[in-house]
A and B are shown apart, each in its own frame.
Chain A
Amino acid sequence: DIVMTQSPDSLAVSLGERATINCKSSQSVLYSSTNKNSLVWYQQKPGRPPKLLIYWASTRESGVPDRFSGSGSGTDFTLTINSLQAEDVAVYYCQQYSTVPYTFGQGTKLEI
């Protein structure tokens, strides 16, 4: 199985500052036929289902504020949240959908 490791486990950032969450996969999640990375980022708030933020590692879902961005390729990926807002407090997960089972990272708790 592909192991997804996020860092840090928790993060405290001031309002208006930048938050950076890293995700590392134990093997490449690059989908060779499309040259796209099968890596997604979700945001989950307490008592709520996850919400899709970023797919194919860097494509922002419709309606997601542009302060959220994803980058990286191969095995190393980053979710960046610029100008942190109070409503961004949540747990963030990465997941690979390259190879079954589609494994998640352990989550990163973002606090103000």
Chain B
Amino acid sequence: EVQLVESGGGLVQPGGSLRLSCAASGFTFTSYWMHWVRQAPGKGLVWVSHIHIDGSSTNYADSVKGRFTISRDNAKNTVYLQMNSLRAEDTAVYYCGRSNGYVDFWGQGTLVTVSS
């Protein structure tokens, strides 16, 4: 059974940092790109970033470029999202997703709240 379990969310002050993790199981992790997608409370879905199967290629939404870094540890079947210089507008549920170009399987999400 495919499982994606996000963790690391929480309350952080503006300007702070947080690292999200997404632990994958039930599939061959090294065969798939991975995505992060976020959803602000009551709002729509926004693609954030994705990473190649070996980590050699990454892309970001303009809104997070230079502040967020996606990475993966294939030995641990885990993808990460390092978030720095956080802003109030980064408040959202962050989902990781397995990629077939599109996200074909989603985690349950982890809530990040940026507030003083």
**Interface residues, chain A, CB within 8 Å of chain B?**
1, 38, 40, 42, 44, 49-52, 55, 61, 93, 95, 97, 100-107
Contact at A40–B109, with CB atoms within 8 Å? no
**Known pairs A95-B47, A104-B47; A52 contacts B59 (CB<8 A):** no
**Interface residues, chain B, CB within 8 Å of chain A?**
35, 44-47, 50, 59-62, 95, 100-109
22 contacts between A and B (CB under 8 A): A1-B62, A38-B101, A42-B45, A44-B45, A49-B106, A49-B109, A50-B95, A52-B102, A52-B104, A52-B105, A55-B100, A55-B101, A55-B104, A61-B104, A95-B102, A100-B50, A101-B59, A101-B60, A102-B50, A102-B102, A104-B45, A104-B46
Give the interface SS of chain B, mostly helix, strand, loop or mixed.
strand
Give the interface SS of chain A, mostly helix, strand, loop or mixed.
loop
Closest to A93 in B: B45
A51: B residues at CB distance < 8 A: 106
Contact at B108–A55, with CB atoms within 8 Å? no
Contact at A50–B45, with CB atoms within 8 Å? yes
Contact at A40–B102, with CB atoms within 8 Å? yes
Q: CA of A101 to CA of B46 in the docked complex: distance in angstroms?
A: 9
Q: CA of A96 to CA of B88 in the docked complex: distance in angstroms?
A: 27
Closest to A6 in B: B44
Q: CA of A101 to CA of B35 in the docked complex: distance in angstroms?
A: 11
- Kindly provide the distance from the CB of B47 to the nearest chain A CB, expressed in whole angstroms: 4
